Amino acid sequence: MKNLALWIGAALVMAAAPFFLGEYHGDLYRKLLLWIALALSYNFLFGISGQVTFSHFAFYGLGAYGAVILVVKAGWPLALAVPAGVLVCAAVALAVAIPATRLEGFYLALATLAFGQLFIVVLNEGGALTGGTGGLANYHLPKIAGFDLTGRPYTAVIVVLVLGTAALLRRLDHSWFGRACRAVRDNPEAAAAMGVNVARTKVAAFALTSALAGVAGMAYAFVDNTVNPPIFGLENAFLLLFMVIIGGAGRHAGAVLGAVLLYLLPFGLSPLIGHHHALVFGVLMVAAILLQPRGLIGLWDRFSR
């Protein structure tokens, strides 16, 4: 009960925050929350289940485009479009997960990289449905019971998404499923010997986290009221991986820390180095792997002890 009160309190504070921020900073805040949601689910896939994939942003894009197409293009009511969108994301995630997780080692990384790139090709060539290279823009979230959610109030939707993702993944991590995922990551043979169904665990982790990325994408669709292909490309997939590794792979707090740090870093660095912050990301990534494989959260552990 106390726990629930804590979550609700956090939700209220987080949803109220943009009312004390300017228009611009409120927008950044909403996007930061979405990055945190993505980092949390990717951390579960990469850090906890040990699957190196580059398709997370493709699922994010699938959710975003799916939401726009269902709500705006097809004009479905939200009560129907939202569950349908979630269902589509989950179905595609499962359909990709079943063959992909059979691949050994780094072949999974390359197959999902190809899938992510192919998704961009399809978006670029999708004609009127996806809007081609320019994407889709100038649409609006329909009013919900006469109430316009656009702008600051929409933060509440994203807060529910982030906290829901965090709560679900935390709970799973502490359940038998989380332990099975870690066991499969560390030693699949030993895990199988202990009675863990390795294949099913991999598929479940991939499909679940990818579907969560899709749901985050559905929320993203109405943040900027525009979706276009480059957002869902390889660059951001790399950045997400860097966030999780620099923050500390396998730890929820690490994922949040990495997302916040790498999202805010360009704003601090741009007066010094202009648009070349990606170079700093690359250097930080190499340095993290070489010097501190457990990430910033590992540093934190060492100093707080």
Partner 1 sequence: MQDFLELAVSAAASGCIYGLIALAYLLVLRPTGIINFAIGEWAMLGAFAGYVLLGALRWPYPLGAAAVLGFMLLVGWATERVAVRPLVEKGAPLLAPVLALLGMLVVFRESVSVIFGPDPRQVPYPLGFGRLEIGPLAGSIQNFLMIGVTLAVFGAAWFFFERTVWGKCFEAVALDRRAAALMGINLSRVTALSFAGGAAVAGLAGLLAGPNLSAHFLMGVPLAIQGFTALVIGGVGRVEGALLGGMLLAFAEEITVRYAPIPPGYAQGVPLVLLMLFLMVRPKGLLRAP
Q: Which residues are at the interface with partner 1 (CB under 8 A)?
A: 52, 99, 103-107, 109-111, 113-115, 117-118, 121-122, 124-125, 234, 238, 241-242, 245, 276, 278-279, 281-283, 285-286, 289-290, 293
CA-wise closest residue to 252 among 286, 297, 202: 297
Cβ-in-10-Å burial (0-12, 13-18, 19+) of 136 comes to: buried
Nearer to partner 1 by Cβ, of 97 and 219: the residue is: 97
Shortest CB 63 distance to partner 1, Å: 21
If the CB atoms of residues 104 and 189 are measured against partner 1, the closer one turns out to be 104
For residue 139, the minimal CB distance to partner 1 (Å) is 24
Min separation Cβ 107 and partner 1, Å: 6
Compare residues 62 and 72 and give the one whose CB is closer to partner 1.
62
Which of 175, 187 has the CB closer to partner 1? Answer: 187
Distance CA 302, CA 126 (A): 50
Distance between CA atoms of residues 104 and 107, nearest Å = 6
Tokens found for residue 173: 């991590």
**Which residue lies nearer to partner 1 by CB, 111 or 215?**
111
- Phi–psi pair at 38, nearest 5 degrees: -65, -40
User: Least Å distance between CB 235 and partner 1?
Assistant: 9
Rounded Cα gap, residues 93 and 56, in angstroms: 10
| Cα four-point dihedral sign 43, 48, 52, 54 | negative
CB of 111 to partner 1, least distance (A): 5
